[in-house]
Amino acid sequence: MTTSICAVVLSTLLIISCREFDSEVRINTTDQPGIFELKSLNNHLHAEIFSIAQLTPTALIAGSDSGNIFKISASSGMIELYSSYGESYNIVSLHVGDSLNIVLLNSNSDIGKSTDGGLTWHPWSENLDGKIIITLYYQVSTNRFYIGSSDGSIYHRSFADTIWYPITNLHRSVTSFTSSDSTNLFAGTWSSGIFKINLQTNQIEGINSGLLNPYIKTLHTCKNNKIFAGTYGDGIFYSSNNGIFWFNYSKILDTAIINNLDATSNYDLIATTNSALYIIKNNSSSHSIGIFDSTNILINTLIVDINDRIYIGTNDGIYRADPK
């Protein structure tokens, strides 16, 4: 697939490049009401991990470089090679519809679908020739997948559909999605902040009041319907009124580049930069707690599993943070 120089530069900013370092990790327990222990799950794994998803209540899957997909036991932490897709490319996104139906995106803008729990894969990129796909999102409430491209095009598709259907074009790179209900889709962009799309009327509204940085790297909605935005250089913002106004969430991180966001069941927000992982306590006045900080390990992806275990995918494999 031919890509423009601008798209390549943007992809470099949005997806951390592959590097090899020694695994030197510092656990920071200062100012920390709950102590966490970071554990390497790598064993003899030397893959770079770009995506992690919950496959079943007892297992997760992880997408790596070279198109390999690994399976992780939630109880033992053991990792095994599970399958592969597009051997020359990184698996940058994985979304599980159910234990059988899974969709992935790789760094070549190829979308793959599995109907047997990720064991085998089939191309799922019909009618998207030439599109540089940056982000893939699964909306649980509608069982639909959404993709955003470098030219601002947004498409959706369900498991039953035979093609991807266009929704709109924001005319700027779409970097992330989230939703708080089945009606509204929030799209983060590279340079123009956040847009709210009404999926019933296709009405589009820019929602940037209070947002101090228009370069959005990641979006996440908590179960309490707070919407969080991770920015490129100004930390984290949140909205509790569907984007009508945004507030700075943690002044301790207000100059950070936020790459990933997720949350625990009690609404503690988990955030990562390139080399640090933070827990921002829902009930803490100090807000920010760094539990992982390394100059040698680069963090690519983050997930909080159904048991509130925190997994990070890095250039040095997979790590898990468990409460002590």
Q: What is the pLDDT of residues 202-214, one digit of tens each?
A: 899 999 999 999 9
Write down the mean pLDDT value for the chain. Answer: 86
More confidently predicted of 56 and 322: 56
- Contact between residue 313 and residue 262 where contact means Cβ atoms under 8 Å apart: no
pLDDT of residue 292: 63
Q: What is the pLDDT of residues 293-322, one digit of tens each?
A: 666 789 999 999 999 999 999 999 999 987
- Distances 129 to 114, 146, 189, 223, 261 between C-alpha atoms, Å: 20, 16, 22, 36, 30
pLDDT score recorded for residue 1: 45
- End-to-end alpha carbon distance in the chain: 47
How many angstroms separate the CA atoms of 105 and 112, rounded? 7
**How confident is the model at residue 81, as a pLDDT?**
95
Amino acid at 242: N
Q: Quick one: average pLDDT of 35-59?
A: 87
Q: What is the pLDDT of residue 277?
A: 87
pLDDT band at 108 (very low <50, low <70, confident <90, very high): very high
